[in-house]
Chains A and B, each alone.
Chain A
């Protein structure tokens, strides 16, 4: 595949469960494509050099910096952004925990942080505080001092574990 520098290419991907298409030049950053071409402005851009983590989205499930990816690289992939989190009945458990623990102030870095936390919680069911802090260290927040986020993630991990315990016990009993 080859795209000329000045060519606008059609990029199709699955954004938050829906197939979406738009046009991008080879050099268009994924974050710009999501925000300005597809209108998903919930993802923010804080440094454009991969350090602050504000622009983190999930690419095929993996939390990734959308400023360090080109739109053309996202062709055919599954993208999930902060807009995917809330459920019909309202905020997700993680969002609610962020609110409860005052884990955000200006909210600018929050979208990216939520996406990292979602992947982390998928992968680590029973995290220690040190693990949560390690994962969060890929994000910069200037407002909160991070405490609320750490508490929120630990809180959600605990609740999700508790919610799944009866099932697994059930299985054990069945066996």
Chain B
């Protein structure tokens, strides 16, 4: 079905388009949902815990699991050796000599990378055993910052590739050189989009079994698709697809793309079950999730526009580097190519140059995340449009208007190949201005500014792609490579409807919903077509690759449900209806076109003839002999639907990357607090044209949810990494997600221009605000502050810094001894301090070299054992307050320069992570036969403690290192070494006439 066919030919029930409360809610509200961790497990099921790397980049020298295996309740440990024996690296769409296994085999390349899996009788016991596995690492230099990672001399993640740039493609559409040559203005901008994730509230869950008799894996996971990854998993497991049964639970606790990333764990736990010879259950915890599950890419973009005097953009130049983390994990580099066809956004820009580079760095691998590719593209494009207005002194809204794809030009083929299916962008913008109260907002800004407040308005327009072309990813290959590989295109969706012997209607879709309410909408569509009560329809959304209809495009991503899946449901329902109409027509000897289905009855138009739906449908089971000749009996129809508009990329690299393109027009007003830098969202208007709305309540729910996530990305959410690659956002107190207090209610406006390409005229609407909201808020803040360089998230500290902090000088004598902490905070900790000790430098030097002294001055040192000249192995408990861990450490004294100085260094690992550091010590004789000991230390922590303890690491490390020298002073003379910072401060203020 290519052309738009109004689905509501019948239109009796008006189910489609109704604000129907959800059929899912009854169970969920009573705690009767069935999420993966709620399901019963097979007897003997073991619980898994995953050992993860505390280092961002290290060679694996050795791994000894035997102490773990000796612990109570521990049954088995899966390691890289097993994985090499039983599995293969994951296939990936870019041909490069790099391998990604489900457990590290030679190196670890990001903090949190899995190394081993312990299977024990409880999760508690499994975690106990993790701490007993001994791993020897040889740490390697890291490539963390994207720009540094693509430099020629950067440390390489995958040596055989020879570079951290694993894919580079150049594209050219139209005649951009000429457009730039003729341009009256050129406006350029460099932007960075940080890492973030939509962090579903439920983490990953996998239940795996292995059947040695059939050499097959049976795995239940809260996987969300796309099921193209089923092939990736099967190939990694080295089994044919039919020996890898993948099932999903009835309910899922959210995904937003993220649960695509469970796939490596599906393979890992399948192998774990095989190793243990028992079913294995793994429930990811939040720390694991934040540090190691998945992330949106962070991106660096240089963008430039060729612009006419009146603000018309004639050409765009894009130079993008997408940071995909340590491994290119399928479907990456899809973050680029999902948006490729619509790189010109909602604008009629005909000339385009694009350079796309994919970089690998020592960070978590990336994957699907709501908005996938959109936030990155629109942040650059819509910031650029705002800059054009500023630089040309035009109204930003006017610049948008002058560049929109004109009314009446749909379907519109965009420069890079997107076939924008329907819409009226200029009319939508005018509607948004009018209904959203822009005039009032502008007046409000005037007033605020007159009063000296910082108030700004931001605008964004965007097209929201939905229903991905399964072939878009091949745009990453050259046309020659594509020809060799064979064409990939389309997007098959499936739906099955069956009617039972009592006339009861059941449906199954392969859309693996994650909370959107698919069951409700499926029931609405079926009720509309078959005229049966909504409540009577049973919809099953569990997907079992062993017995359900599915295809590679199955799953829940690219907002494909309303356009594609609901469309397939409609087609399946129509097949059922047409068969039943045929049967009824034969019975009653009337034209099938006269048969109507409504209110649970089958009715012949303009007659008295009717019968209950169940009776007619039941006949297909009870009395197949009475049916017309071409009617086989039984009643189960499966529809497969793939739109022909989703063609493979052409030889000029034009790609219609999605089937539908909704339109979004957002604007907002923000007020910035001059003192605190806090951004208050005063008003947010968001207009959507998502084609026909199947259930407006659910549409608004999608918009609100995406808006809240977009707001989070704009103002607070970021995965931060230290310069050493340590991960710093390991808890929900570090990775900040907006709460009810931070999220205002947006004004949601709609417009319905049906898509001509989907059976019901619907388009996707789930991701738009993830794409438009971050940049809309950024544009408003840029307007409020009159600043070009805006980087997300706009935290109070960052915004206040943008406003400008002119610090009064540090008063003399205040805090001078405090050395500056390492720039940018993080897990690299450096500082200097000094203590005065009794005795000569030589005496101090000799004391330090005495092992007994060393043991006495290292806080929490239980044992010190000589392992070489001035080298020791130490058993040390380190911590502050309640937080403490026992380290197995190496301590060494080196660079001996008696009696002037030496270096004291240590490195160790513990259950809470790794720590290493060294202090350069200088000894100077001072008056009174004393010695001043100056030290500069440089320390780093990795693993868990860096992920969750960032707020206090500087102070804590200072305190612990200070203790070493305080104890030394005590040991040498007993005198208090010096006034503490605290005591001196008290003195300082007392001297100023403060408290006596």
Of A70-78, A98-106, A120-128, A159-167, the one with at least 4 CB within 8 A of chain B: A98-106
- The reply on B811 being an interface residue by CB < 8 A is no
Given A48-B285, A143-B705, A146-B743, A102-B22 contact (CB < 8 Å): yes
Cβ contact within 8 Å between B30 and A102: no
Closest beta carbon of chain B to A123's beta carbon, Å:
18
- The reply on A22 being an interface residue by CB < 8 A is no
Instruction: Pick the most buried of B256, B698, B739: most chain A CB atoms within 10 A of its CB.
Output: B739
Complex CA distance for A135 and B251, rounded to whole angstroms: 27
Given A107-B24, A142-B200, A144-B701, A49-B286 contact (CB < 8 Å): yes
Q: Contacts of A145 on B, CB cut-off 8 Å?
A: 704-705, 707-708, 743, 745
- The reply on A147 being an interface residue by CB < 8 A is yes
Given A44-B201, A136-B740, A110-B705 contact (CB < 8 Å): no
Complex CA distance for A92 and B202, rounded to whole angstroms: 25
Output the nearest chain A residue to B32 by Cβ-Cβ distance.
A42
Number of B residues whose C-beta is below 8 Å from A? Answer: 51
Complex CA distance for A51 and B948, rounded to whole angstroms: 13
Partner of A107, one of B33, B705, B707: B33
Complex CA distance for A95 and B38, rounded to whole angstroms: 21
Q: Contacts of B740 on A, CB cut-off 8 Å?
A: 132-133, 136-137, 139, 146, 149-150
Complex CA distance for A44 and B745, rounded to whole angstroms: 27
Given A44-B201, A47-B732, A106-B253, A83-B31 contact (CB < 8 Å): yes
Contact code string B15-34 (vs A, CB < 8 Å = 1, else 0)? 00000011011101111110
Contact code string A109-132 (vs B, CB < 8 Å = 1, else 0)? 111001000000000000000001
Given A51-B731, A146-B708, A106-B254 contact (CB < 8 Å): yes
B507-550 contacts to A (CB < 8 Å): 514-517
Complex CA distance for A91 and B29, rounded to whole angstroms: 8
- The reply on A61 being an interface residue by CB < 8 A is no
Output the nearest chain A residue to B202 by Cβ-Cβ distance.
A108
Output the nearest chain B residue to A106 by Cβ-Cβ distance.
B515
Partner of B26, one of A28, A91, A139, A140: A91
Closest beta carbon of chain A to B590's beta carbon, Å:
42
Instruction: Pick the most buried of A35, A40, A102, A149: most chain B CB atoms within 10 A of its CB.
Output: A102
- The reply on A66 being an interface residue by CB < 8 A is no
- The reply on A63 being an interface residue by CB < 8 A is no
Complex CA distance for A107 and B32, rounded to whole angstroms: 10
Q: Contacts of A133 on B, CB cut-off 8 Å?
A: 740-741
Partner of A147, one of B35, B124, B199, B704: B704
Cβ contact within 8 Å between B517 and A105: yes
Complex CA distance for A114 and B25, rounded to whole angstroms: 13
- The reply on B737 being an interface residue by CB < 8 A is yes
- The reply on A41 being an interface residue by CB < 8 A is yes
Partner of B732, one of A25, A52, A98, A99: A52
Closest beta carbon of chain B to A47's beta carbon, Å:
4
B695-725 contacts to A (CB < 8 Å): 697-698, 700-701, 704-705, 707-709
- The reply on B252 being an interface residue by CB < 8 A is yes
- The reply on B765 being an interface residue by CB < 8 A is no
Cβ contact within 8 Å between B517 and A142: no
Cβ contact within 8 Å between A102 and B21: yes
Contact code string B187-214 (vs A, CB < 8 Å = 1, else 0)? 0000000000011111100000000000
Complex CA distance for A102 and B697, rounded to whole angstroms: 7
- The reply on A43 being an interface residue by CB < 8 A is yes
Q: Contacts of A81 on B, CB cut-off 8 Å?
A: 31
Complex CA distance for A134 and B742, rounded to whole angstroms: 10
Cβ contact within 8 Å between B516 and A105: yes
| Secondary structure class of chain A's binding surface, majority of residues | loop
- The reply on B979 being an interface residue by CB < 8 A is no
Given A83-B30, A99-B25, A142-B254 contact (CB < 8 Å): yes
Closest beta carbon of chain A to B323's beta carbon, Å:
23
Q: Contacts of A102 on B, CB cut-off 8 Å?
A: 21-22, 697-698, 700-701
Cβ contact within 8 Å between A140 and B30: no
Q: Contacts of A156 on B, CB cut-off 8 Å?
A: none
Complex CA distance for A10 and B927, rounded to whole angstroms: 68
- The reply on B733 being an interface residue by CB < 8 A is yes
- The reply on A154 being an interface residue by CB < 8 A is no
Q: Contacts of A46 on B, CB cut-off 8 Å?
A: 201-203, 253, 286
B795-827 contacts to A (CB < 8 Å): none
Complex CA distance for A52 and B254, rounded to whole angstroms: 14
Given A27-B124, A142-B254, A91-B737 contact (CB < 8 Å): no
Complex CA distance for A100 and B25, rounded to whole angstroms: 10
- The reply on A79 being an interface residue by CB < 8 A is no
Q: Contacts of B201 on A, CB cut-off 8 Å?
A: 44, 46, 52, 54, 106, 108-109, 140-142
- The reply on A86 being an interface residue by CB < 8 A is yes
Complex CA distance for A147 and B38, rounded to whole angstroms: 28
Closest beta carbon of chain B to A168's beta carbon, Å:
30
Q: Contacts of A42 on B, CB cut-off 8 Å?
A: 30-33
- The reply on A85 being an interface residue by CB < 8 A is yes
Q: Contacts of A85 on B, CB cut-off 8 Å?
A: 29-30
Q: Contacts of A27 on B, CB cut-off 8 Å?
A: 124
Q: Contacts of B514 on A, CB cut-off 8 Å?
A: 106
Q: Contacts of B256 on A, CB cut-off 8 Å?
A: 142
Cβ contact within 8 Å between B700 and A107: no
Q: Contacts of A83 on B, CB cut-off 8 Å?
A: 30-31
Cβ contact within 8 Å between A49 and B515: no
Q: Contacts of A28 on B, CB cut-off 8 Å?
A: 124
- The reply on A82 being an interface residue by CB < 8 A is yes
Cβ contact within 8 Å between A49 and B21: no
Q: Contacts of A148 on B, CB cut-off 8 Å?
A: 701, 704
Closest beta carbon of chain B to A8's beta carbon, Å:
11
Closest beta carbon of chain A to B740's beta carbon, Å:
4
Cβ contact within 8 Å between B731 and A44: no
Cβ contact within 8 Å between B737 and A95: no
Output the nearest chain B residue to A85 by Cβ-Cβ distance.
B30
Q: Contacts of B285 on A, CB cut-off 8 Å?
A: 48
Contact code string B717-756 (vs A, CB < 8 Å = 1, else 0)? 0000000000000011100010111010100000000000
Q: Contacts of B251 on A, CB cut-off 8 Å?
A: 106-107
Complex CA distance for A41 and B199, rounded to whole angstroms: 21
Complex CA distance for A138 and B741, rounded to whole angstroms: 10
Cβ contact within 8 Å between B731 and A47: yes
Closest beta carbon of chain A to B38's beta carbon, Å:
4
Complex CA distance for A48 and B288, rounded to whole angstroms: 12
Cβ contact within 8 Å between B21 and A100: yes
Cβ contact within 8 Å between A105 and B743: no
Q: Contacts of A144 on B, CB cut-off 8 Å?
A: 701, 704-705, 708
Instruction: Pick the most buried of A28, A54, A143: most chain B CB atoms within 10 A of its CB.
Output: A143
Given A99-B22, A109-B201, A133-B740, A47-B286 contact (CB < 8 Å): yes
Given A86-B30, A145-B708, A106-B25 contact (CB < 8 Å): no
Cβ contact within 8 Å between B286 and A48: yes
Cβ contact within 8 Å between B515 and A107: yes
Return the 9 tightest CB-CB contacts between A and B, nearest first: A42-B31, A106-B515, A108-B253, A107-B28, A145-B704, A145-B708, A82-B31, A51-B732, A136-B740
| Given A86-B30, A148-B704, 7 additional A-B pairs, CB 8 A | A42-B30, A49-B286, A95-B29, A99-B29, A102-B697, A142-B708, A142-B709
- Can you list 13 pairs linking A and B with CB atoms under 8 Å apart? A41-B35, A42-B32, A44-B253, A46-B202, A52-B201, A82-B29, A91-B29, A106-B251, A107-B515, A134-B741, A142-B256, A143-B701, A145-B704
